Structure formats: structure tokens, C-alpha cells
Structure 1
Amino acid sequence: MGAVFDSDALFELEPAAADNLSFTDLARQPLAELVAPDWAGALAPVEAQLRQALDYVAGDAAGHEVLPSPSNVLRAFRQPLAGVRVLIVGQDPYPTPGHAVGLSFAVDGATRPIPRSLGNIYKELEADLGFPPRVHGDLGRWAEQGVLLLNRVLSVRAGAAGSHRGKGWEDVTAAAIRAVAERPADGGSGRAPLVAILWGKDAESVRPLLGSAAVIASAHPSPLSAARGFFGSHPFSRANALLQDQGNGTIDWELPPLP
């Protein structure tokens, strides 16, 4: 049985603040109010780059639609750093309005149809562990169990994939990945358990940041590449086996039928 994480431990923005937040507000808020407390410490060395990225997003949002919503841009860091067990690295948010929710590969639970890459992830999940594909793309259940769904770039202009690359986000997420990989184990001997799942060349580029962490790498689940090594890669069962080897339980990868 996998380890159980208390979802109440997740750091959340106050609902009223989330409802009224603009990108300009986001850029001005103290780091400790935007992310979980242990993430605030880990990201402090790259706060200047984070502010650079947030300022760029606020400026771009003055004339264009920017995704995801302000309250979701830093959503991946509301999951406590100490609880991360699996890292899944994405590229940048889905550029289709209504899709991006701040977690790599996930979409809003009401989005229909789900993106094709996520559909392929579900196909592999069924082939690997027998769990039926879901009609929704809410991956919050994975995040609650310590799966960090982290894009390398955390924002995008609607309709323009990759439009916010090179604006500072890469430095921030590189620091985040190092922080996950370098956490000391309980007792201070060695590193904390971690499995990194890297799909595609962009994700594999972070491998040098991971040190001695266990890595599962394959082709990207995109329809353009899934047949070239993603299908049949069994990432979910392999991740659980590696977690068990590290004494860190397993992830229950089955998602609820509806979000």
C-alpha cells in the first residue's frame, strides 16, 4: 500500500486572494505568500529570476491572454517540498485557453476532450497497471501523494506554445529540481528518496540536476513520439518498484472516475 499524505498539509492561497489575484499582484507578493514554506526557502536563491519571470508575465498579460491563471502559475510549489516522492517534468503549459492548471500534463477537470498527450499517458497507465483511462485530466490525486508535476516553464501566451521560454523560469525550475534531488534523508545520511520520470528530450535535459536520483526516461507521450518508446515503458510500475526499493511506499496511480 502506498504512503498516505494528508491533503490538509498542502499550502493553499486563501480562496478570496486566489479569486482576485492578478499577474501584477502575483509579481508583488512576498515569496512566502506564494509557495509552501519549505519551497520559499529552497527558491530564495533564485528569487530575482522568479521576480523577473513574474514581471515579464505581468507585462505580457497587459496585452495578451496568459495561461494558467495567476493563482495557478506557482501551483506546483504549493505541494510541500518535503513530501515530494516522484518528479514528472513537463515543458511549458498547454497554450489552449482553459487547459493549463499549473501542473504538468494536467488540465482542468471539466476540460473535454483531454489533450492527446494526456490520453496517451492514460493508455500507458492502463497497459502498465490496468487502470482504465479517465475522461478528465485532473491529476490532483497524484500531487496529493507527493508527485511533483513540474513544467520547466510555468507560463505561456495563449495560442503560442513556448512563448515564455527564456524569461527566467528555467533558472527557477532548475533550482527547484536541484532542491528536490538534494534533500537530505531523514537522519541526515544520504539523500531523500526520489524517482524522476523524464519524458522526451526536453525533460531528459534536466538529468544532470538530479545527481544520484533514480531516473525513468523514455520518449514523450505526444502523438508524434509515443510509439517510439513511450508505449511499453511501464513508468508507473517501475516508479513504484523504485520507491519500494528506497523504502518510500508506492503511489496509487489510479485516478477517480470524476474529479
Structure 2
Amino acid sequence: MSVIPTNWAHLPFFRDDWPRIAKALRDDTRQILPPEHQRFQALDLTPPDNVRVVIMGQDPYPTPGHAHGLAFSVEPDVRPLPRSLNNIYKEMREDLEDAPDNGDLRFWAAQGVLLLNTVLSVPAGEANGHKTLGWQSLAHQVLKEVSHRPTAFVLWGKQAQALAPHISSPKTGANKEDGHLMIETAHPSPLSARRGFFGSRPFSRINTWLAARGEPEINWTTA
């Protein structure tokens, strides 16, 4: 069984939902992605107190060898990049004039960027194959947990934007920087990227917001 991430173990999900989901995963005879030891890697790498930015994804890449537990991220040797990630990098080059050399985004996680999928497992070759297991309650609880202080939330596409009600307002002060930064645009997939994702400049907007709060900017481009 996947090891529960220590810093998030207090969430009710791990008491109320995880035992049932874990059994369903054990009973599923298909190849399940990502590998079991990486299933909670997004939470392992970014504890609650470190979260400054949340980027929500849908479910893991269904291609074996791609998913490693972080939304949109892939193992460093994956070529070509998944199409959504390739579009993310296209927008980053327009926004920041640079992008990472590969698709491994763990260095973002180390800086406080939580890359969380709404569903944390998928059968190989079957996108959305585990959408009915009940993973969504974990995403809801994580969003509520990190909402207690000002955070940048990136919600790409309608599925991610449907999670907005689970983001509560922090205790606000006199400045707008004391509230959340909400970036809601089209998804970076090839089907929708030209409907508002391209040109949205999310990376510089986040860094401008962080700088206004007196926080270090995110190094988006160089591992």
C-alpha cells in the first residue's frame, strides 16, 4: 500500500476514504499509474506549510513511464513532451523567454508549487479510468487546507475551475495581496489552449503577486 504522506495524514480523507480506494487499487488487475511509491509524491514534496502556488490537474498521464505523481510533470527522459505540457512551455517562453530543458517539474514542487491531480491514479491506457474511485475528496480537502493563508491558485479548464468552491477565503488585511491570486483560464490541451490559455502569462503574474507580498519569486525555468 502507498505510504500516507506524513504532513497531510491529518486530512479526513486518509481515515474515511483511503482504505476503500487502496483496496480497489489492490483488486484492480490492470497496470496502475503512477507506480505505487509515487502516488502521493505531489503531497510528499510539498507539505502544507510550504505551499505557495497550487496548480490543479485532472488525472495522471495514462502512458507507462510518463506519470510520476505530479500534475503535468513527467519523468525527465520523456520525449516528446505530452501535448499539454508542451503548450505550457510554449506559453512560458512567451511569458518568461525561457522554459525547462525537460518535463520534470519536481524543482517547482521544492519551491512550494503543489502540482496536484484531482484523481491520483489511472489504469494504463485508460484516461479517466479511475474518476469514480472517490479521489476527489482528497483534492477538496487539500484546497481547503491550503486556503487558510494567501495562495496562488491556477485552475486551467472547466474541471479544475469546478473546484473553486473548495477554496475558502483567508483572513484578509487591508491590501489585495492579503487575498488569494486566482488564475482561471482555458486548459493548455491542444483542444482549448487557443481559447484563452495562450497569452494568459500565468508565470509572471504569479511572480508579480509573490513579489508584492515580499516573498521570493518562483524559478520556473531552471532546475
When normalised by structure 1's length, the TM-score is: 0.78
Q: Once the two structures are aligned, what percentage of the paired residues are identical?
A: 45
Structure 2: gaps of 5 or more residues: 170-179
Equivalent residue, structure 2, for 1:19 = none
2:165 is the counterpart of 1:208: yes
- Where does residue 26 of structure 2 map in the other structure? 58
Q: Secondary structure at the match of 2:66?
A: coil
Alignment counterpart, residue 58 of structure 2, candidates 82, 91, 107: 91
The secondary structure found in structure 2 opposite 1:198 is strand
Q: CA deviation at 1:211?
A: 2.1
For the 8 Å contact 2:100–2:221, the answer to whether it is kept is no
1:236 to 171, 178, 203: 203
How far did 1:255 drift? 2.8
Deviation digits for residues 171-225 of structure 1, max 9, x if unmatched?
111111111112xxxxxxxxx2310011000110111111233211110000111
RMSD of aligned C-alpha atoms? 1.4
Q: Do structure 1's residue 198 and structure 2's residue 198 form an aligned pair?
A: no
What is the distance in 2 between the residues matched to 1:122 and 1:36?
32
TM-score norm. by structure 2 comes to 0.90
Q: Any stretches of 5+ residues in structure 1 without a counterpart?
A: 1-24, 27-32, 183-191
Match of 1:143 among 83, 104, 109: 109
| Cα displacement string for residues 218-251 of structure 1 (whole angstroms, at most 9, x for unaligned residues) | 1000011101100000000011112223332211
Q: 1:46 touches 1:171 (CA, 8 Å); kept in 2?
A: no
Deviates more, 1:148-157 or 1:48-57: 48-57
Quote the residue 1:103 is aligned against.
70
Alpha-carbon separation, structure 2, partners of 1:251 and 1:50: 32
Contact 1:126-1:133 at 8 Å conserved across structures: no
Q: 1:45 to 1:97 in 2, by over 3 A?
A: closer
1:63-74 alignment runs, 5 A limit = 63-74=29-40
The CA distance in 2 between the partners of 1:209 and 1:161, in whole Å, is 24
Distance, in Å, in 2 between the alignment partners of 1:225 and 1:99 is 22
Q: 1:26-77: CA deviations, max 9, x gaps?
A: 3xxxxxx52133x112x145522122222211211xx110000001111111
Distance in 1 between the 2:94 and 2:73 partners?
20
For 1:1-259, what aligned pairs fall within 5 Å after superposition? Answer: 25-26=1-2, 33-37=3-7, 39-41=8-10, 43-44=11-12, 46-60=14-28, 63-78=29-44, 79-132=46-99, 134=101, 136-182=102-148, 192-212=149-169, 213-256=180-223
